[in-house]
Structure 1
Amino acid sequence: MIVITSPDEMTRYAESARQSGERIGLVPTMGFLHDGHLTLMREGRRQSSVLVASIFVNPMQFGPGEDFARYPRNFERDCAMLERVPVDVVFAPEPAAMYSTDAQSWVDAGDITSGLCGAHRPGHFRGVTTVVAKLFNIVKPHLAVFGEKDFQQLRAIQKMVRDLNFDVEILPVPIVREKDGLAMSSRNAYLSSTEREDALALSLALRAAREKHRTDPCCAEEVVFAATRVLKRMKGVEIEYVEGVDAETLSRHPSLDRPILIAIAARVGKTRLIDNVVLNP
């Protein structure tokens, strides 16, 4: 496994690999890896002959007062985990290498980013789609792997790829959970033991939504209410939103004749957590 920090060097490596007939897979991450990330890596490994993992805490997707400075980082540990996959290349640039001081160009995926997390984190998805577009241009992957836990991010990237004709296949991977149901996240490291127990309310709420949808699927609002009721029972959980939207377009007022996404964002202590489930007709 080699580590590359220069975008130009990464592009030269990628162009050489493509000329040699290799199939490049990319798994973009912000580091502080866990088994959920490694599941993405293993899928990328199966689908490609050269696997690149990027580790880049992207400042452009953090808003004022968010946790950019304290976002957990452990590069040596991450590399040890990636070697076991194995990953071929770790692309780990510094922010100054990715953004010039006078950079003013952005990629915006439009309406699909306006609701859910987009309504609560202005500018977040513009930062995400911009950095992913840059990674696609630098790494030149044939395929890129993304987890469904960040479901709105996944849909925004898929839309960007379609709208801008990126020649890259997007591979979604289902949410990876702890044995007790908590969705794996780097931000789980912030949780105290008590908060960790409180955080289970998110997956329990989604289980309640799934059961309501299975037994009495009258309307999306009732399914959302079933999830909300579970969250409100937990004093340590502050709800940011619980919504049911069309799983493809993320538009509100979904039809139960189509797959719907039940998405949750909540704060447990000072930690913002997200989770979701897609319910099929």
Structure 2
Amino acid sequence: MKKVILAVALTLSAAISFGQSNSGTKPILQLVRNATLIIEYGGKKILVDPMLSPKGAIESWAGIQKNPTVDLKLPINEIVKNVDLVLVTHTHDDHFDKAASQILDKSIELLHQPADKEFFEKEGFNNAAVLEDNTLWNDISIHRVEGQHGSGEVLKMMGKTSGFVLKAKNQPTVYIVGDAIWTEDIKKNIKKFDPDYIVVNSGGARIQGYENTAIIMDEAQTMALIGESGKAKVIAVHMDALDHCRTTRSSLSKEAVEFNICKDKLIIPQDGEVIALSL
């Protein structure tokens, strides 16, 4: 009888120990503000597109008010503490600003698109690397995919932008679309990578003088993406933080209701909100 009790006790102890040792590896995504994300993935902390400026520190892009239009809800030291990797989709100020360049340690590991190589060299980041296609980093497969930041003449002005796909054993596949309008290429990426989560920049941004041309997805394009998203849950960000973004959380929510999109399918987080990611 004592042996049975001892065996049960050891089993319970091992189960408790296993739970404790894995408690920190459960993946989460936290929206900091706009497109800035903290992703805990595969036991690593990944910071995406850091815009760390205080409210009103950057010029207006729509002639309405200076950007960002809201303050950070998290302390900066909490955002950058123990970051293992920074992913940058492109270097517009709302994705990598002067504050981020000044605050982040210049030796931090950073992955970026080929078009931004010279930028990070000038900024003095000595551990920044170009991601051409894909890489295996700490057992996490990171794929870079192209994005189309507008159309026509506006696309030429906006330049190159990228997205990233994260894949790892026992982790959900996460597709970070980046600044992009809805295109067939994004549809192909969804089919290729079969993500569990798609993070989409849904602010419907437009620049002065080209108000009829969206440079990122708006309500209608986000609905189109959801229609082709397969099993993935869609996390919509890049709203209510910049003066040139016309799509708001409220307008996107209303559009989702009209399209009968359930709340489990489309997640619209508030600044600072944490989302648990599951397979």
Normalising by the residue count of structure 1, what TM-score does the alignment of the two structures yield?
0.29
Q: Which has the higher helix share?
A: 1
Normalising by the residue count of structure 2, what TM-score does the alignment of the two structures yield?
0.29
